[in-house]
Amino acid sequence: MGFAFSAKGEFFTPCEPQKTYVSGLSNQRCVQQRTPRFLFRRGGCCRSCRRCCNVQPLQRRLVSRLEEKRPTEEKSDAHGPNPLKSGSPLSFGTFLKSRFQEFRRFLAEPVRISVPKPLLIIVGVVGSIFVIAFVSYAPDWKTESKIREKVALFDFILTDIVHGYVDPVDTDQLFEAGVDGMLGSLDPYTQFEGNIAAREMQLKTSGRYGGVGLGIAQSILQPEETVVLNAFEGYAFDRGVRAGDVIVEVDGTPVRGMPLDKVTELLRGEPGTLVRVRLARETRAPDGSRRLFDVVLPRRLVTIHDVPLYGMIRSYDGVGYIRLQSFATNAGRELRAAIDNMVRTGRLKALVLDLRNNPGGLLDAAVETAEALVPKDSAIVSTKGRALGETVFMSDREPSLPADVRLVVLTNEQTASAAEIVAGAVQDLDRGVIVGTRTFGKGLVQNVEPLPYNTALKYTVGKYYTPSGRCIQSVNYKEGSALTAALPEAESGRPFLDPSGTLVPALPPANGAARYLSTKVPESERKTFRTLHGRIVRDGGGIEPDMESTVTKPSELELQLLEGGKFFFFANRYAAGISSLPEDFEVDDKLYKEFQRYVLEDASKWREHTRFEPGLKLFTSTFAEAGYKNAEKELEHLRETIVTELKQDFERHADAIRQRLEDAIRQRFEPESRRLSAALRYDKVLQDALRLLTEKQGEAYERLLQPAAETAQT
């Protein structure tokens, strides 16, 4: 029989119960609406249909129960009058007293209720869980109360400012500023993602979106113009769009002065539709006029490849090369496909995996990528966090790379996050050798939580550990305030430059004004661990290479030319005068001198745009206030000296500048895969790795995988 208790303990029977069974639970349905209901409203009305049901209240139950006991009570007539027998000459007080005594006896006797055993077991289990959860959650009551208090305060403050501030305010901007200020006090990776940012983050992690395959940006020289930075191979590039083209209209809508996100929305759309784009391309006309042309681009499901380049290196027998530039959903699948294609040739003896400038991505993608390289049943990475718990990710698939194929992984200071997971697994399991420079050192794990209104919250939930048990996080973050801020050296530098000459924001991503406290892990606090074969590795500072190979840092002139867009715009001018590039194209002396003249035409503006100028202006104003005229003159002389030094860099760093200029010009004629392949000719770190793999049948490679000889104890 189904049953339920009201809030005040009154017992009700449901109206004409009809049993149903769902997952082993005995349920009952309302006669009026046939809907499952256990509890009924006070007074006998069903909660669902609001109509009276066949209910026996407690009083009627009591009388019925006493009637069942009447034969026993008849026997008491010999010893005295029966208070319930009609016609007994009893006072009203005596009657009430007898009723009360019978009621007490009724309550003292157990009431037998038939309950199905499965329901009893389930109720017991659920009740136990509830009690455990209740007890475990009890300590958080104070915290929850505090949270509700702060949320209410934020609501009051935001409401008062929106309605009462002297000038109208942007509610969205005000809210995001408040949230960014809160999250910015934790670490640089905890961020609130608004509508556009959340969508872009989803595109980056999935690696797919409906669009035309263009990378666009605002022009450095004319910010109101939208220029093409990159036309993807297999998409817009195949339709004739090139880097340097200016977007004039999209489906007849002029885009000059339009925000970049709005232009992006016009270009993207439902796959299978078409969009007409009007472009302007530079010409050699004396008046500087541009050539206008229209291109009809099909919107497709654009896939951003994690592996943009792979293949066998011609001049080295049996050596393959794979560049892995990101860790989106398909990273592991693309890496396996590249390895399988090279293995099928039967010539693969060694592999170079290039993880330089790879900022990372999805944890699952990193695990799948490592599975293609390390033995089955190997531990790849583990994660730990206060709410995350501890999880160990194992390789449960056979690797694509044969065990007898030598492996070198290339890293640099911009190899981060998921890329470090792969490099750490390869190193700790002694599957290969790391060549290059120390990696960025990001050992934190973020979770992306979807929020209402198409927004998201990305926040740090734990740390990850390589198979040897080390955490390679190089910076310790601590909650700060608006008045305290400290940035580690790795985060206060200038934007770095990828091999294609593109200026890329420095890691980690900016999150407004940083208010978190951060300190680098001191060398003295770094602990030692052992790899599978006993080699010594350390935590707290990224992945250190087994063989260090460095490249010359970009000169001040290179940075000036890149930030000023000199390579980009000169390449536009040069490409306007020719129809194609020769196969053996290089920047010869004649072309290099032409580039110098182009740059020096605008040398007068260098004084205002060098990174030294802000400091010099501060000194100038300070000297002016003090009346130090001679000091001001010395600063002017210093400015001229800086410009002279920059000009001399054309000779001191000619090779590096020629390489960047060649790559920028190739971008106007060749797809990305050919351009990246051509750039490998100048890659010093790659050359070091190739020598390590091939000289004396890889003897040096094998030595690096052996543990260092232990110092004898005396």
Same domain, residue pair 532 and 630: no
319, 460: one domain: yes
Round to whole Å and give the CA distance between 465 and 380: 9
pLDDT of residue 140: 61
Kindly name the residue from 185, 382, 395, 442 that is annotated as catalytic.
442
657: CB partners within 8 A, 6+ apart: 557, 558, 561, 592, 595, 650
Exposure class string for 197-235: b at 16+ Cβ within 10 A, else e: bbbeebbbbebbbbbbbbebeeeeeeeebbbbebbbbeb
Assign residue 292 the CATH number of its domain.
2.30.42.10
At 87, is the pLDDT very low, low, confident or very high (cuts 50, 70, 90)? very low
Write down the mean pLDDT value for the chain: 79
Are 467 and 568 contained in the same domain? no
Peptide bond into 188 cis (omega under 30): no
Range of the domain at 285: 208-303
Q: Is residue 164 included in any domain, yes or no?
A: no
Q: Is residue 171 part of a domain?
A: no
Instruction: Please check whether residue 687 lies inside any domain of the structure.
Output: yes
Q: Are residues 573 and 541 in the same domain?
A: no
Pairing of strands 226-231, 319-323: unpaired
Find, among 73, 93, 100, the residue nearest to 84 by Cα. Answer: 73
Mean pLDDT of 310-321: 92
**In the predicted structure, residue 604 carries a pLDDT above the cut 60:** yes
DSSP 514-579: --SEEEEPPGGGPPEEE-TTS-EEESSS-PPPSEE---PPPPHHHHHHHHTTHHHHHHHHHHTT-S
pLDDT tens across 400-413, in order?
999 999 999 999 99
Which of 99-108, 432-441, 496-505 is the most confident on average? 432-441
Residue-wise pLDDT for 237-276, tens only, equals 999 999 999 999 999 999 999 999 899 889 988 888 999 9
The burial of 143, by beta-carbon neighbours within 10 Å (0-12 exposed, 13-18 middle, 19 or more buried), is given as exposed
Average pLDDT of 637-655?
89
pLDDT, average across residues 21-40: 35
Assess whether pLDDT exceeds 80 at residue 549.
yes
Note the pLDDT of residue 110. Answer: 58
Residues 228 and 361 in one domain: no
pLDDT band of 70, cuts 50, 70, 90: very low
Q: How crowded is residue 538: how many other Cβ atoms within 10 Å of its Cβ?
A: 17
**Range with lowest mean pLDDT among 85-99, 626-640, 656-670:** 85-99
Say if residue 20 is in the same domain as residue 105.
Answer: yes
Is 170 a member of any domain?
no
Kindly state the percentage of the chain with pLDDT values over 70.
72
Would you state the pLDDT for residue 32?
Answer: 42
Average pLDDT over residues 292-318: 91
Whether residue 107 is predicted with pLDDT greater than 70 in this model: the reply is no
Residue with tokens 């050992």: 443
pLDDT surpasses 60 at 495: no
* 537, β-bridge pairs: 529
Answer with the one of 303, 332, 362 that is the final residue of a domain.
Answer: 303
Domain boundary among 100, 134, 168: 134
Q: Dump pLDDT digits (tens) for 516-530.
A: 888 899 999 999 999
Q: What is the pTM of this model?
A: 0.73
Annotated catalytic residue 417: yes
The pLDDT-based confidence of 307 (bands split at 50, 70, 90) is very high
Q: Are 20 and 36 in contact (CB under 8 A)?
A: yes
Residue 59 pLDDT class (50, 70, 90 cuts)? very low
Regarding whether 546 and 405 lie in a shared domain, the answer is yes
Give mean pLDDT, residues 630-654: 88
Least confident of 50-59, 332-341, 554-563, 581-590: 50-59
Q: How many CA atoms lie within 13 A of 496 on its CB side?
A: 19
Q: Using CA atoms, how far apart are residues 400 and 375, in angstroms rounded to an integer?
A: 10
pLDDT digits (tens, 9 = 90+) for 134-190: 444 455 667 778 888 888 999 999 999 999 999 999 998 899 888 888 888 899 999
Would you say residue 429 lies in a domain?
A: yes
Q: Last residue of a domain, which of 303, 321, 341? A: 303
In this structure, what CATH number is given to the domain that contains residue 421?
A: 3.90.226.10
Same domain for 11 and 119, yes or no, is yes
Q: Does one domain contain both 541 and 560?
A: no
- Neighbour-count burial for 510-532, b at 16+ CB within 10 Å, e otherwise: ebeebbbbbeebeeeeeeebebb
Tell me: do 516 and 563 sit in the same domain. Answer: no
Is residue 10 a contact partner of residue 62, using CB atoms and an 8 Å limit? no
Average pLDDT for 112-132: 57
Do 436 and 358 lie in a common domain? yes
Q: Are 479 and 364 within one domain?
A: yes
In-domain check, residue 142: no
Number of structural domains found in the chain: 4
| Residue-level pLDDT at 428 | 98
169 lies in some domain: no
**Which DSSP string do the residues of 248-281 spell out, in sequence order?**
EEETTEE-TT--HHHHHHHH---TT-EEEEEEEE
